[in-house]
Structure 1
Amino acid sequence: MIDHAHDLASVQEATERLLTAAAGLDNASVARPSRLPGWTVGHVLAHLARNADALGNVLDGRPMYPSAEARDADIERDAPRPLDVQLADLRESDAKFRAHGTAPADWTRTVELRNGVTDVAARVPFRRWIEVELHHVDLGIGYELEDVPADFTEREIDFLAERFGGHRDVPSVGLRSSGGRVWTTGGGAPGGPIGVEGTAADLLGWLAGRRDGSALTVTGGTLPALPPL
């Protein structure tokens, strides 16, 4: 069962971890490349702030972004700002998002995200948690997938395994973590079943497009190429 109140609290904790870590940077760091191709650290911070606004829009029943072009333009506009401005904006936008999340609402309702994707409202806080944890890693400032909370890692693997389940480009794949958890995904493309085993962090990294999967053990075929998120 989805517990949106728990996830909102987790969003706050994750955001505070990120803000504390990023406070140790300087203005020159904002212009350095992040781990995301073509994006600086400033782009990642700007995206995190604007995504909080966007998910607040979703909870209010408004379009997540006016358009894809507007989303990209806002990130480009905000990316070069000084570090203190970036962090103040992220803190404020996070507080506004959580205020949306604590307002009385029907959490069973269906909401619309980008590109026609829909979800239950109660899962929106978890989607924000995903953004904060993974983009903290993307900043490349010492926070790794091994550092994210274990319960987040397993839930995000659950989420991504479901997302790729039956995907027409992904053969049947059985996932097993070194801790003994198992998942299945894919199944839409010919081939398989393929076995993929590794640490939960490495499984998450591969599923989320943050690692190439070279640390995983693969049996029954080759490691499939996953579609972009």
Structure 2
Amino acid sequence: MIDHAHDLACVRDATERLLTAVAKLDNASLAEPSRLPGWTRGHILAHLARNADALVNVLEGRPMYASAEARDADIERDAPRPLDTQLTDLRETAARFQAAGDAPADWSRTVELRNGVTDSASRMPFRRWAEVELHHVDLGIGYELEDLPDEFTDREIDFLAERFAGHKDVPSTGLSAGNGRTWTTGGGAEGAPVAVRGTAADLLGWLAGRRDGSGLTTNGALPKLPPL
């Protein structure tokens, strides 16, 4: 069972880690490339702020974004802002998300995200947690996949393994981590089952498109995953 209150607390902790790390940067470093192709660090911070507002929209029954074009335009508009403006925006939007999460609500209801995707309202705090943690890594400022909380890593692997389950382009794939956890995913493509082993951080990096899988071992070719 998903505990949205627990996940909201985890979002708060992850956001504080992010804010503390970002506060040590300067304006010049925000203009430098992040680990995401085509995005500076400023783009990532702008996206995180706008995503918080978008998830407030979801929780309050409004469209997540006015349009895909508006989402992209807002990120481009906000990416060049100076550090103090970025930090203020991150804090204020994080507070709005926490307030929306703390409001009395039916957490079992179904909500709609982008592109017609639906999910339980109770999953929104975890989705926000994933945004904060993974994009903190994407900034390339010393926070790595190995630094993520163990609980988050296991649950995000759960989420991504479920997302790729039955995908027509992914063969049946078993995942094994050094912590003893196992998962299965894929199964929609022809071919012999593939066994993939590695650290939880490397498995997550591969599934989330943050690592190329070179740190993993397999009994065959490493499956090519579709984009997230």
CA distance in 2: counterparts of 1:170 and 1:108, whole angstroms: 31
How far 1:142 moved relative to its partner?
0.2
Task: Spell out the pairing of 1:21-170 with structure 2 (5 A cutoff).
Answer: 21-170=21-170
What one-letter code is carried by the residue in structure 2 that aligns with 1:35?
Answer: R
CA distance in 1: counterparts of 2:214 and 2:55, whole angstroms: 34
How far 1:24 moved relative to its partner?
0.5
Give SS of 1:227's match: coil
- Work out the number of aligned pairs and report it: 228
CA distance in 1: counterparts of 2:103 and 2:209, whole angstroms: 34
> What do the CA deviations read for 1:61-97 (whole angstroms, capped 9, x no partner)?
1000000000000000000000110011001000000
Tell me which stretches of 4 or more aligned residues in structure 1 moved more than 4 Å.
Answer: none
Give SS of 1:119's match: strand
Give SS of 1:154's match: helix
- Report the equivalent of 1:224: 223
CA distance in 1: counterparts of 2:117 and 2:203, whole angstroms: 24
> What do the CA deviations read for 1:125-176 (whole angstroms, capped 9, x no partner)?
0000000000000000000000010000000000000000001111100000
Give SS of 1:171's match: coil
Give SS of 1:35's match: coil
How far 1:180 moved relative to its partner?
1.1
Give SS of 1:62's match: coil
Cα RMSD after superposing both structures: 0.4
Instruction: Give the TM-score normalised by the residue count of structure 2.
Output: 0.99
How far 1:192 moved relative to its partner?
2.7
What one-letter code is carried by the residue in structure 2 that aligns with 1:176?
Answer: S
Q: Percent identity?
A: 79
Residues 170 and 186, structure 1, Cα contact 8 Å, conserved in 2 = yes
- Report the equivalent of 1:215: 215
CA distance in 1: counterparts of 2:57 and 2:192, whole angstroms: 41
CA distance in 2: counterparts of 1:9 and 1:112, whole angstroms: 23
CA distance in 2: counterparts of 1:163 and 1:199, whole angstroms: 20
What one-letter code is carried by the residue in structure 2 that aligns with 1:163?
Answer: R
How far 1:211 moved relative to its partner?
0.2
CA distance in 2: counterparts of 1:72 and 1:213, whole angstroms: 29
Give SS of 1:210's match: coil
Task: Spell out the pairing of 1:174-213 with structure 2 (5 A cutoff).
Answer: 174-213=174-213
Give SS of 1:44's match: helix
Give SS of 1:47's match: helix
How far 1:191 moved relative to its partner?
1.2
Residues 173 and 192, structure 1, Cα contact 8 Å, conserved in 2 = no
